[in-house]
Structure 1
């Protein structure tokens, strides 16, 4: 049995107190066994425990009820020794657990009664004897009360084993076989509790998939939140407007308050085991470690029936983080609601410096800081760490130094994949020198890029857009004929900002059923809000058209769709570009909400000449006699048509196995004219008519 020989082996701090309490319980077990044997009518019956004889029933009927009072002297001696140990080296784990879970002395005694079979296997046989059943080797409720010399009819004692009582609610004690009568239900201590009391801090295996570490993020609210945690605030909800700002705030406040953290990634919340069981595991881990439970994002659990209600009712400090407003139906507790606020450009730059400092690559840090991309990208602390790790892996793979380009690719890899199901992703491959547009148009496009770079300073710090619920987004309209460079200009702006370009596929947006178009657009805006990207609505007049006079139900619902878009565009925080071939078709209410309206003119002769030279530049092999000035002077084509004709000419030359010749170019232009529905007149192609006709 448990004796002083256990002290020969070095034990973790506090285990001696646990074993001393267990040895005291052993005395009670021996006393009860002696009592049973003296009053057992057939103690040596070999089939004892497998049936009930008449003599046994008669003995049960004649057994007196009174329970002798418990002897507290032994307990006082044990606790006095524990007091001395606590004064020297700190409290035992059993005492810490009792304080964290708000356990009474009776709760601790019940816990020990259920625990001792896991400390000494011989208690299984003793409990089987006391239960009068060889198959029941753990304590029952009735046996526990009897060992503690408490009457079975004591309502206060029985209440400590109800579902809402601390022992059961926090999962420290499991009551088995609920279909049995109350007194014959079994008591079991989960293995995680036993391991913790013996000095093992390995988290519960059911939580391993959910546990996650978060980076702290200092800010003006950290001190106030830390004070609330120290004061015992039971429920905190932090609403974050950018990824990582809410979790970073909680981590920093918990660190300042000296509270360990149990971080849960709710996106990994499994369908099995049932939510109630998993919440119990979370509560148990918080009670054992004294940690603050940080659960994020709350949206992932809001759709699971009853999950948030159960989680918020664990009775231990809990911090929830999400990007939506708090719904009072989520919990009967009233939370402390804290807005995390926006991360400033300076804070983001500091996070990039901190993450890059660990790479010991001063060149990459200097190049990234000089590019100012780190301040522009809306990434949280954890995303920045992952972006640097991804860029470092790419550098190892390519055997090249870490540079700003690789860091930008690492940052783009942190974008959520949800938007790719609703829009086409384009990785920018062009820059400002690739645009062939009038200087005034180029200046307007650069202004859009300037707006996107400096919106934190202008809108947040200088407060140039107060009130009204408007977002921090930048909205621009590109208007011009097809092929004038609108999509390419959007790609150039995305490249200048170090972002990806997502082109919205209107086929996935417009729906013939009432209300579905708005739902599709909401999904796009919601996904785009968490992505560092430029959102391009091509042929925007299809969804941003003018509202009309209501003559029938179709007009009414079309106007509702436009009204929704007006409101949603105002609250958008990203960079969105609308492109249209017919500016007059765009509703004036949309135009008022736009930050820039840029017209793309058809290219003049000089612009067409520049476009021909760009499209037929090396490495494309071209004959020296190409008359590109003739093509620019004679054919009024847009940039898109010129590029299409150049590609056709390249295919013709590749098929003939030679460089591109003027005959290939003339034939390609003739095909482009036919595509546009124009007449192909021989005099327009002179002096190359014969070559064109021959082909």
Structure 2
């Protein structure tokens, strides 16, 4: 039987705060329509005074407004974007209450979605509600939604670009899905893996003790962990934000299977950060401009979330620029330049992983704060990996000599894990007492070597 999870119960204050915000927005819209369409030559009354009741308590909406220091106009713009996600018929109901006769009102703006049949706001809707036909106020309030505004820059509240040649304010008003979840559910939700967010959330059940590396590499990883833990103090409390960039860039390089992905997962686990493995197959496109668009979507969603972005096999995206021989080379180099800019401006940790340091464009290498080498395990490290690889439920046959295996075969940690898995499955297939045979190990090692064209 499938057990359904009980829905998350939200505090009553959260629901009440959202209702109060929409009630105030409805009053402002009714006031604006009355002042615009039913004035009859009289001076319009002042805009309804906000009670700011939605700022009471520590609801996500109240905390966000206080942290962002939003004035009344910015708060109303936020409510306009949020309203259709709370009440699908909010605008239709509010507008038709004042304008019952059907008609085309271009000054109100708005659009209809493909699936959603209700009124959806545009930039023009925001200007109409906040400024009406006051030309000066309209120009001034466009800054709320301009690309230089903090909310737009962080892709929290912004305008989608309209069709070419159409007025900028006819663009659709959008609010980041994360913030819809925050205001309505009380927390950010994990983004769904898609072309708009081509990265998968990765975790690990392993611990630092399971990561077998040489002392120098481990120390560099600890230094990186220290930056993750203490960067807020360094940047904000100690005032070094003026001289240091907000983010951090690290390069992990070395053969496959030496612990690069595991290290990224452990850094996230022990610092409380979400780690996302970027799927380069969904990022890189043969069509001009699409790679930049995919990356823009990725970084826009990650901005301000303090996530760790992990680019495995990064050579495909961050490789060396080539001499320009044709248009393809020109655009490929433009992609690298765009990447350099986005990685530098990201306010979290970006980790690039590559088999060889020399494969990464020098422009990136110069900007890494950490360059960490993950070499093939030494004899001592292989002995440790073999020693801790087998579960306690199995027994090693007397012919198995782990020290000899460590000496004879140069395997990575991932290789040894694969060998252990193969041998454990063989033991289970035989039934009875779970004993690992030497022949099982030999066959498994041959399988691992054959993957890379080696012969035992």
TM-score range, shorter chain: 0.5 to 0.7
**In 1, distance between residues paired with 2:89 and 2:265?**
47
SS at match of 1:494: helix
Q: CA deviation at 1:641?
A: 1.1
Maintained 8 Å contact 2:84/2:90: no
Q: Which residue of the other structure, out of 442, 450, 454, is the alignment partner of 1:674?
A: 450
Q: Which residue of the other structure, out of 626, 630, 633, is the alignment partner of 2:407?
A: 633
Q: CA deviation at 1:521?
A: 1.0
**In 1, distance between residues paired with 2:70 and 2:141?**
23
Q: Does 1:506 align with 2:324?
A: no
Q: Does 1:615 align with 2:422?
A: no
Maintained 8 Å contact 1:645/1:669: yes
**In 1, distance between residues paired with 2:218 and 2:64?**
39
**In 2, distance between residues paired with 1:514 and 1:330?**
40
Match of 2:84 in 1: 269
Match of 1:592 in 2: 366
SS at match of 1:576: strand
Q: CA deviation at 1:622?
A: 3.9
SS at match of 2:436: coil
Q: CA deviation at 1:500?
A: 2.7
Q: CA deviation at 1:599?
A: 0.4
Maintained 8 Å contact 2:258/2:412: yes
Q: TM-score, normalised by structure 1?
A: 0.46
Match of 1:452 in 2: 228
**In 2, distance between residues paired with 1:306 and 1:253?**
20
**In 1, distance between residues paired with 2:272 and 2:228?**
11
Query: Once the two structures are superposed, what CA deviation does each residue of 1:581-608 show, in whole Å capped at 9, x if it has no partner?
Result: 0210101110111111000111111100
Q: Does 1:434 align with 2:210?
A: yes
Q: Does 1:247 align with 2:65?
A: yes
**In 1, distance between residues paired with 2:40 and 2:229?**
61
SS at match of 1:594: coil
Match of 1:332 in 2: 139
Query: Once the two structures are superposed, what CA deviation does each residue of 1:175-220 show, in whole Å capped at 9, x if it has no partner?
Result: xxxxxxxxxxxxxxxxxxxxxxxxxxxxxxxxxxxx9956668xxx
SS at match of 1:475: strand
Structure 1 residues 529 and 315: alpha-carbon distance in aligned structure 2, compared to 1, 3 A threshold:
closer
Maintained 8 Å contact 1:535/1:576: yes
Q: Does 1:462 align with 2:238?
A: yes
**In 2, distance between residues paired with 1:282 and 1:428?**
57
Q: CA deviation at 1:624?
A: 5.5
Match of 1:518 in 2: 292
Structure 1 residues 262 and 445: alpha-carbon distance in aligned structure 2, compared to 1, 3 A threshold:
closer
**In 2, distance between residues paired with 1:479 and 1:429?**
23
**In 2, distance between residues paired with 1:160 and 1:243?**
34
In structure 1, runs of 5+ residues without a counterpart are 1-96, 108-157, 173-210, 218-241, 255-259, 284-303, 318-327, 341-378, 388-412, 681-695
Maintained 8 Å contact 1:309/1:332: no
**In 1, distance between residues paired with 2:38 and 2:444?**
90
Maintained 8 Å contact 2:204/2:262: no
Maintained 8 Å contact 2:275/2:308: yes
Q: Which residue of the other structure, out of 430, 436, 449, is the alignment partner of 1:656?
A: 430
Match of 1:571 in 2: 345
Match of 1:690 in 2: none
Superposed counterparts of 1:61-210, under 5 Å: 160-161=39-40, 166=44
Structure 1 residues 101 and 517: alpha-carbon distance in aligned structure 2, compared to 1, 3 A threshold:
closer
SS at match of 2:309: strand
**In 1, distance between residues paired with 2:216 and 2:98?**
61
**In 1, distance between residues paired with 2:391 and 2:299?**
39
**In 2, distance between residues paired with 1:434 and 1:521?**
33
Q: Does 1:486 align with 2:304?
A: no
Structure 1 residues 214 and 660: alpha-carbon distance in aligned structure 2, compared to 1, 3 A threshold:
farther
**In 1, distance between residues paired with 2:370 and 2:232?**
18
**In 2, distance between residues paired with 1:279 and 1:385?**
24
SS at match of 2:293: helix
Maintained 8 Å contact 1:418/1:527: no
Maintained 8 Å contact 1:213/1:263: no
Q: CA deviation at 1:329?
A: 12
Q: Which residue of the other structure, out of 523, 542, 545, is the alignment partner of 2:316?
A: 542
Maintained 8 Å contact 1:430/1:495: no
Match of 2:122 in 1: 307
Structure 1 residues 671 and 442: alpha-carbon distance in aligned structure 2, compared to 1, 3 A threshold:
same
Q: Does 1:529 align with 2:303?
A: yes
Q: Which residue of the other structure, out of 404, 411, 418, is the alignment partner of 1:644?
A: 418
Q: CA deviation at 1:430?
A: 2.0
Task: Decide which structure has the larger Cα Rg and report it.
Answer: 1
Q: CA deviation at 1:652?
A: 1.5
Name the stretch that deviates more: 244-253 or 622-631.
Answer: 244-253
Q: CA deviation at 1:386?
A: 6.5
